[in-house]
Amino acid sequence: MEKPAFLDRDRPDVPGLVVPGGVTPFYLAGRPVRGRLIRTGILADAMLTRHDNPAQVTALAGKALALVAALASALKFQGSFSLQIKGDGPVSMLVADCTHDGALRFYARKDDAALDSLLASNPAPTDRELLGNGYLALTVDQGADMERHQGIVEIAGDDLSAMATHYFATSEQHACWIMLACTLTDAGWRSGALVLERIAGAGGLADTELSTPDGAAHDDSTWETATILATTLTVAELLDDNLPAPQLLHRLFHEEDLHVSQSRALAFGCRCSRARLVDVLQRFPEDDLDHMCVNNDTIVMTCEFCNKDFHFPRKDIASAMG
């Protein structure tokens, strides 16, 4: 007997891609500095090209993926870190999230006419010109027993790294230095991030296991030195598949008592499933379900994150609304 749709919990056919060394945490011993280097590798290309977006929007989304990967890798408990930006620009919504174990997903909602018109007059818009004025929210969700933490700030700055830096400075009073990049290389789309966090007096997102020993100098000059060194990183180096992460970090911080920690994986991480979508469909009345049908017998739902079509035979979906 064929398994009914509501019992089918199979994952859809999306790439089972894992980038083993996607996240490289590090700290500078005796200094109030820790950081993460993110390289999404082939994952960026696989995820970004599933969506039909112009290159300018793809680049923005790729930076968002690298950003949430960097932020989620600081989570102490199981959970997820999500970025949500809503603005009045042609890209009206950008959502990216990453779990503590590196499962990434994103979607960008756009107004095609507004986007075409912007790109016709300005082929290289800033992230700000794509997003417009609005709000940026970061949410840490660490499961049912933990309080959900969300901070919201107005969009400020020209690019996503400036927007995120502004978020931490104002919402969390937490000094961060953030570089994000995403470009189309010969090997496909690549995205990456270098994030430095000042850990002295850090907020709720701090992870003490990487803290420097007691008595560490909490002075401004060591933080500034680290950020000045970080500024010398080029986009080409950040996105170079052939430059190993420890080597890249050594180039930047070898005089600052660099300690590179165990790297962690990133993966294609959509959490959609047939069962979850059936759950959504059952909340509609029978009439609405009939109207959703294609060819009178099938309901098609598309996951916004992985762009996967799910087909449900109409006869398998019974409204819970009566």
Positions in the binding site for Zn ion (CB under 5 A): 270, 272, 303, 305-306
Nearest-Å Rg of the Cα atoms of the chain is 21
Answer yes or no: are the C-beta atoms of 25 and 36 closer than 8 Å.
yes
Q: What is the distance of C-alpha 104 from the center of its chain?
A: 6
Q: In the complex, what is the shortest distance from the CB of residue 65 to Zn ion, in angstroms, rounded to a whole number?
A: 15
Q: In the complex, what is the shortest distance from the CB of residue 303 to Zn ion, in angstroms, rounded to a whole number?
A: 3
Nearer to Zn ion, 12 or 132 (CB): 12
Tokens of residue 69, six digits: 């990967």
Q: In the complex, what is the shortest distance from the CB of residue 149 to Zn ion, in angstroms, rounded to a whole number?
A: 25
Nearer to Zn ion, 103 or 233 (CB): 103
Nearer to Zn ion, 71 or 272 (CB): 272
Nearer to Zn ion, 180 or 303 (CB): 303
Nearer to Zn ion, 110 or 274 (CB): 274
Could you give the CA distance from residue 313 to residue 100 in angstroms, rounded to a whole number? 35
Could you give the CA distance from residue 120 to residue 117 in angstroms, rounded to a whole number? 5
Q: In the complex, what is the shortest distance from the CB of residue 307 to Zn ion, in angstroms, rounded to a whole number?
A: 8
CA-to-CA dists, residue 72 to 79, 166, 286, angstroms: 8, 18, 40
Q: In the complex, what is the shortest distance from the CB of residue 302 to Zn ion, in angstroms, rounded to a whole number?
A: 9
**What distance separates the 2 farthest-apart alpha carbons in the chain?**
71
Answer yes or no: are the C-beta atoms of 47 and 65 closer than 8 Å.
yes
